[in-house]
Structure 1
Amino acid sequence: MLTLASRLRALNDAALRRTIALRSIPPHGIHDFFDLAEALLDPAAIQSTLTHLDRSTLAVLAVAADLGAPTLGELVERLADLGHDTVDAADISARVDRLDELMLLVRTDDTVSPFPAVAARLRAWPEEGLPGVADLAGVSAPSPLAPLSATDGRFTERLAAERAFAAVSAIAELLTELSLEPARELSRGGLGLPDTKRLSMAMGVDLEAVAPLVGIAARADLVALGAGYWSESQAGSAWLVEGAPARWGVLASSWLAALPADVREILAQRPGVAWGDALHRFVAWLHPAGGSWMDERIADFARDAELIGITARQSTSAAGASVLLGDIDAAVATIAGSLPAEVGAVYLQHDLSIVAPGPLSASIDARLRTFADVESRELASSYRLSGASVNRALAIGDDAESILSFLATISLTGVPQPVEYLIRDAADRYGRVRVGSVDPLNPAGPSYVRSDDSAVLGAIAVDQTFTALALISLSPTKLTSAQPADTVFWALTDARYPVAAENAAGEVVHPRRHRVMHPIRPEAPDPTIALVEKLRATDGGEAKAAHAWLARQLDSAIKHRQTVLVSVKMPDGEVVDYLLEPASVGGGRFRARDRHADIERTLPLSSVVSIVPAP
Structure 2
Amino acid sequence: MTMAALPLADWLRSLSDDALAALLRSRRDLATPPPANSDVLATRAGTAGSIARACENLDSATLAVLEVLLIAGADEHPVDTGRLDDLLGTPPPGALDRLRTLALAWGPDEAMSVPPAARDVFGPFPAGLGTSSPELAALGSDGLLERLRELGEDERALLTTLSSGPPIGRTRDAATDLPLEAATTPVQKLLARGLLVRRDDRTVELPREVGIALRGGVVFGPEVLTEPDLPTAPQQQSTVDTTAAGEAMEFLRYTEALLRTWSEQPSPVLKSGGLGIRELRRLTRDLGVDERTAALLVELAVGAGLVATDESTSPEWVPTTLTDSWLSSPPSGRWLVLAQAWLDLPRMPGLAGGRDAKDKVIVPLSEEARRPLAPTLRRRVLSTLAELPEGSGIKSVDELVALLAWRAPRKGGRLRDQLVRDTMAEATALGVVGLGALTTAGRMLLEDDLHEAAAAMADAMPRPVDHVLVQADLTVVAPGPLEPDLARQIEAVADIESAGHATMYRVSEASVRRALDSGRTADELHELFRTRSRTPVPQSLSYLIDDVARRHGRLRGGVAASFLRCDDEVLLAEVLGTAAAEELELRRIAPTVVVSPYPLAEVLDALRKAGFAPAAEGPDGRVIDLRPSGRRIPARGRSGRRAESRLNPPTEEQLTALVAHVRAGDKAAHSRKGTIVRLPGGGGADTSATMALLTKAVAEQREVWIGFVDSHGTASQRVVRPVRVGGGLLESATGERYPLHRIASAALVED
**What TM-score results when the alignment is normalised by the length of structure 2?**
0.49
Secondary structure at the counterpart of residue 501 of structure 1: strand
Bigger drift between 379-388 and 510-519 goes to: 510-519
Matching residue of 2:635: 520
Q: Shift of residue 196 of structure 1?
A: 4.5
Q: Shift of residue 392 of structure 1?
A: 1.7
CA 177–567 in structure 1, closer or farther in 2 if over 3 Å, else same:
same
Matching residue of 2:9: 69
Q: Shift of residue 144 of structure 1?
A: 6.1
Bigger drift between 335-344 and 212-221 goes to: 335-344
Q: Shift of residue 116 of structure 1?
A: 6.2
Q: 1:213 aligns with which of 287, 297, 314?
A: 297
Matching residue of 1:266: 380
Matching residue of 1:127: 120
Residue 165 (1) aligns with residue 249 (2): yes
Secondary structure at the counterpart of residue 497 of structure 2: strand
Matching residue of 1:542: none
Q: Distance in 2 between matches of 1:278 and 1:213?
A: 25
CA 295–150 in structure 1, closer or farther in 2 if over 3 Å, else same:
closer
Q: Distance in 2 between matches of 1:491 and 1:187?
A: 34
CA 456–245 in structure 1, closer or farther in 2 if over 3 Å, else same:
farther
1:503 touches 1:509 (CA, 8 Å); kept in 2? Answer: yes
2:401 touches 2:421 (CA, 8 Å); kept in 1? Answer: no
Q: Shift of residue 339 of structure 1?
A: 4.8
1:388 touches 1:496 (CA, 8 Å); kept in 2? Answer: no
1:184 touches 1:191 (CA, 8 Å); kept in 2? Answer: yes
Q: 1:370 aligns with which of 485, 492, 496?
A: 492
Bigger drift between 358-367 and 194-203 goes to: 194-203
1:240 touches 1:366 (CA, 8 Å); kept in 2? Answer: no
Q: Distance in 1 between matches of 2:606 and 2:318?
A: 20
Q: Shift of residue 165 of structure 1?
A: 3.3
Residue 457 (1) aligns with residue 584 (2): no
Q: 1:500 aligns with which of 604, 615, 620?
A: 615
Q: 1:187 aligns with which of 270, 276, 291?
A: 270
Q: Shift of residue 369 of structure 1?
A: 0.3
Secondary structure at the counterpart of residue 113 of structure 1: helix
Q: 2:25 aligns with which of 91, 94, 97?
A: 94
Aligned pairs, how many? 453
Residue type of the partner of 2:579?
A
2:326 touches 2:334 (CA, 8 Å); kept in 1? Answer: yes
1:492 touches 1:499 (CA, 8 Å); kept in 2? Answer: yes
Matching residue of 1:106: 35
CA 612–184 in structure 1, closer or farther in 2 if over 3 Å, else same:
farther
Secondary structure at the counterpart of residue 382 of structure 1: strand
Matching residue of 2:521: 399
Q: Distance in 1 between matches of 2:595 and 2:322?
A: 40
Deviation by residue 1:307-350 (Cα, 9 ceiling, x = unmatched): 21323586645543443233455555655566555432112244
1:471 touches 1:481 (CA, 8 Å); kept in 2? Answer: yes
CA 349–73 in structure 1, closer or farther in 2 if over 3 Å, else same:
same
Residue type of the partner of 2:513?
N
Residue type of the partner of 2:515?
A
1:434 touches 1:502 (CA, 8 Å); kept in 2? Answer: yes
Deviation by residue 1:229-263 (Cα, 9 ceiling, x = unmatched): 44555554454455545543443233234476633
Matches within 5 A, 1:121-520: 123-129=116-122, 143=227, 145-150=229-234, 160-179=244-263, 181-188=264-271, 189-191=273-275, 196=280, 199-223=283-307, 225-226=309-310, 228-231=315-318, 235-240=322-327, 244-258=331-345, 262-263=376-377, 265-271=379-385, 272=388, 273=394, 276=398, 278-279=400-401, 282=404, 286=408, 288=410, 291-292=413-414, 301-311=423-433, 316-317=438-439, 319-328=441-450, 331-332=453-454, 335=457, 339-340=461-462, 342-435=464-557, 439=561, 453-454=571-572, 457=575, 461=579, 470-472=583-585, 474=587, 478=594, 480=596, 484-489=599-604, 497-502=612-617, 508-515=623-630, 517=632, 520=635
CA 268–572 in structure 1, closer or farther in 2 if over 3 Å, else same:
closer
- Structure 1: state its 5+ residue gaps: 1-64, 78-86, 440-446, 464-468, 525-564, 578-607
2:228 touches 2:403 (CA, 8 Å); kept in 1? Answer: no
Q: Distance in 2 between matches of 1:355 and 1:311?
A: 29
2:305 touches 2:320 (CA, 8 Å); kept in 1? Answer: yes
Secondary structure at the counterpart of residue 99 of structure 1: helix
Q: Shift of residue 129 of structure 1?
A: 3.1
1:490 touches 1:513 (CA, 8 Å); kept in 2? Answer: no
Q: Distance in 1 between matches of 2:444 and 2:379?
A: 14
Deviation by residue 1:194-250 (Cα, 9 ceiling, x = unmatched): 754554344332344223213223334444554544455555445445554554344
Q: Distance in 2 between matches of 1:73 and 1:392?
A: 80
Secondary structure at the counterpart of residue 413 of structure 1: coil
2:677 touches 2:690 (CA, 8 Å); kept in 1? Answer: no
Q: Shift of residue 375 of structure 1?
A: 1.8
CA 304–69 in structure 1, closer or farther in 2 if over 3 Å, else same:
same
CA 382–291 in structure 1, closer or farther in 2 if over 3 Å, else same:
closer
CA 291–351 in structure 1, closer or farther in 2 if over 3 Å, else same:
closer
Deviation by residue 1:480-529 (Cα, 9 ceiling, x = unmatched): 576x44455456668885233356897754335035636522599xxxxx
2:245 touches 2:460 (CA, 8 Å); kept in 1? Answer: yes
Higher Cα Rg: structure 1 or 2?
Answer: 2
Residue type of the partner of 1:567?
R
Residue type of the partner of 1:69?
A
CA 338–387 in structure 1, closer or farther in 2 if over 3 Å, else same:
same
Q: Shift of residue 90 of structure 1?
A: 4.5
Secondary structure at the counterpart of residue 270 of structure 2: coil
Q: Distance in 1 between matches of 2:247 and 2:638?
A: 34
Q: Distance in 2 between matches of 1:250 and 1:572?
A: 63
Q: Distance in 2 between matches of 1:404 and 1:183?
A: 36
Q: Distance in 1 between matches of 2:454 and 2:638?
A: 32
- Structure 2: state its 5+ residue gaps: 52-115, 129-219, 347-373, 389-393, 640-675, 694-740
Bigger drift between 511-520 and 490-499 goes to: 490-499
Secondary structure at the counterpart of residue 476 of structure 2: strand
Q: Distance in 2 between matches of 1:208 and 1:264?
A: 18
1:100 touches 1:107 (CA, 8 Å); kept in 2? Answer: no
